[in-house]
């Protein structure tokens, strides 16, 4: 699978938390390349099932993205807005955006220049910023409604050393990892039933994963999300190597699942590192493991630099390796799963 090509297309689609329909339809098309058993559930999760019999494994990566939402129209036609999910206001001034009104509208987030400010310069607060569409208020009111979503408008960028950079890699890059695994498993006779799920509303509370887990009733789950890659100025204790796949360890993650992942990585020669979460993981794993009567859960993470910005950066090779690790893990699950899934 061409990870970069897929991400260049799918990350350009709008899919804010609660507004995921456009990207969900595209991901459903991609799932159908590997299984005919694809559906979009009531909340908007995209599910693709592979395999029959044996234990049920829920695999999830979220497809929603951080973004903004129109909260008001000023007298001069400028738009007020607020965040959907976590956005750092420092990245906003000077950004290009698309407002998804009655038609897509391009705009810019302006800020008062230093020539017109007095005293020390400081980062602008979100409630001090507006979006300039370059059109009069009367036309803005015809095309834009309060509640319309807004996304960043940036180019897809290929960097050196197998790196790619774009918006929304958190977490559609991990949807791509799932697709890598699905491609490898397409002609494999699995000993388990796998429900691959592109989940909704992770950025505002991991709601899609909880709904999917409560419905699917899995025997075990694997969540896929990004973690912080090493970058200038970041504490090395808080980051992971961008060239390795990360596996999670912590209270919400089952130790036997972790051991199985590490054993699989060793067998497949996948270079992995352990990412410690002392409390919760802030991923779909947190919802999956407390669903129903409790679900043994593992976490695979793709290291990503500059999270929640317009230049999220990953290693394409690491994404391929993460998908290969998942496929190898799933190949090893059969009716004897209860023998190793214990403390």
d(CA 84, CA 105): 19
The average pLDDT across 130-147 equals 96
Question: Are both 147 and 172 inside the same structural domain?
Answer: no
In a domain, 123, yes or no: yes
Tokens (6 digits) for 292:
């129903």
pLDDT of residue 237: 87
Question: Are both 112 and 50 inside the same structural domain?
Answer: no
Question: Are both 207 and 273 inside the same structural domain?
Answer: yes
Q: At which of 152, 179, 204 does a domain end?
A: 152
Question: Are both 38 and 97 inside the same structural domain?
Answer: no
Residue 91 has pLDDT above 70, yes or no: yes
Question: Are both 127 and 199 inside the same structural domain?
Answer: no
d(CA 281, CA 275): 10
pLDDT band at 225; cut points 50, 70, 90: very high
Question: Are both 171 and 142 inside the same structural domain?
Answer: no
Question: Are both 242 and 273 inside the same structural domain?
Answer: yes
| Bridge partners of residue 164, in order along the sequence | 158, 314
Residue 298's alpha-carbon distances to 141, 221, 246, 340, in angstroms, are: 48, 6, 11, 14
In a domain, 256, yes or no: yes
d(CA 316, CA 309): 18
Q: Is 158 helix (H, G, I), strand (E, B) or coil?
A: strand
User: Residues near 170 by Cβ (< 8 Å), separated by ≥ 6?
Assistant: 65, 66, 225, 226, 304, 307, 308, 312
Residue 77 has pLDDT above 80, yes or no: yes
| Bridge partners of residue 299, in order along the sequence | 223
Domain coverage including residue 247: 3-65+167-340
**Which of 152-156, 201-205, 276-280 shows the lowest per-residue confidence on average (mean pLDDT)?**
276-280
Residue 294 has pLDDT above 60, yes or no: yes
Question: Are both 13 and 27 inside the same structural domain?
Answer: yes
In a domain, 157, yes or no: no
The average pLDDT across 144-170 equals 96
| Environment class of 119 (CB within 10 Å of its CB; exposed 0-12, middle 13-18, buried 19+) | exposed
Residue 343 has pLDDT above 60, yes or no: no
Question: Are both 217 and 319 inside the same structural domain?
Answer: yes
d(CA 299, CA 285): 7
d(CA 72, CA 82): 10
Residue 113's alpha-carbon distances to 5, 36, 96, 121, 221, in angstroms, are: 38, 55, 17, 10, 50
Tokens (6 digits) for 325:
């690790």
pLDDT of residue 119: 61
pTM of the shown model: 0.94
pLDDT band at 121; cut points 50, 70, 90: low
Residue 308 has pLDDT above 90, yes or no: yes
Nearest to 272 by CA among 258, 285, 262, 281: 262
Q: Determine the Cα angle at 167 with ends 163 and 171, to 5°.
A: 85
CATH number where 261 lies? 3.40.630.10
pLDDT of residue 122: 72
Please state, rounded to an integer, the average pLDDT across all residues of the chain.
94
Residue 120 has pLDDT above 70, yes or no: no
In a domain, 231, yes or no: yes
Question: Are both 243 and 336 inside the same structural domain?
Answer: yes
User: With contact defined as beta carbons under 8 Å apart, do 133 and 73 qualify?
Assistant: no
The count of structural domains within the chain is 2
In a domain, 159, yes or no: no
Residue 295 has pLDDT above 90, yes or no: yes
Q: Which residue shows structure tokens 């994404």?
A: 319
pLDDT of residue 138: 95
In a domain, 271, yes or no: yes
Question: Are both 100 and 173 inside the same structural domain?
Answer: no
Question: Are both 61 and 73 inside the same structural domain?
Answer: no
CATH number where 148 lies? 2.40.30.40
């Amino acid at each position: 699978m061409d990870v970069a090509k897929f991400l260049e297309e799918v990350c350009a689609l709008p899919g804010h938390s609660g507004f995921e329909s456009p990207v969900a339809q595209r991901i459903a098309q991609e799932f159908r390349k590997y299984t005919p058993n694809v559906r979009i559930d009531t909340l908007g999760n995209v599910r693709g099932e592979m395999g029959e019999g044996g234990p049920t494994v829920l695999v999830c990566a979220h497809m929603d993205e951080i973004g903004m939402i129109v909260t008001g129209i000023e007298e001069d036609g400028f738009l007020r807005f607020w965040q959907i999910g976590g956005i750092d206001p420092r990245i906003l001034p000077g950004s290009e955006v698309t407002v998804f009104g009655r038609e897509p509208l391009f705009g810019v987030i302006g800020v008062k220049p230093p020539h017109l400010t007095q005293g020390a310069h400081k980062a602008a607060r979100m409630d001090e910023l507006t979006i300039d569409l370059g059109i009069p208020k009367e036309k803005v009111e015809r095309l834009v409604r309060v509640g319309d979503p807004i996304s960043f408008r940036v180019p897809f960028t290929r960097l050196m050393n197998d790196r790619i950079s774009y918006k929304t890699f958190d977490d559609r890059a991990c949807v791509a990892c799932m697709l890598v695994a699905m491609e490898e498993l397409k002609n494999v006779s699995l000993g388990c039933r796998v429900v691959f799920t592109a989940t909704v509303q992770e950025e505002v509370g991991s709601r899609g994963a909880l709904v999917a887990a409560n419905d699917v009733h899995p025997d075990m789950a694997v969540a896929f999300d990004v973690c912080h890659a090493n970058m200038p100025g970041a504490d090395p204790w808080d980051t992971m190597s961008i060239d390795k796949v990360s596996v999670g360890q912590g209270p919400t993650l089952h130790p036997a699942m972790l051991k199985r992942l590490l054993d699989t990585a060793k067998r497949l020669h996948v270079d992995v590192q352990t990412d410690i979460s002392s409390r919760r993981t802030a991923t779909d794993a947190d919802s999956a493991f407390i669903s129903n009567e409790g679900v043994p859960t593992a976490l695979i993470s793709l290291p990503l630099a500059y999270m929640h910005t317009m230049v999220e950066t990953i290693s394409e090779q690491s994404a391929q390796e993460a998908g290969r690790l998942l496929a190898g893990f799933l190949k090893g699950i059969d009716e004897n799963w209860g023998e190793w899934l214990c403390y």
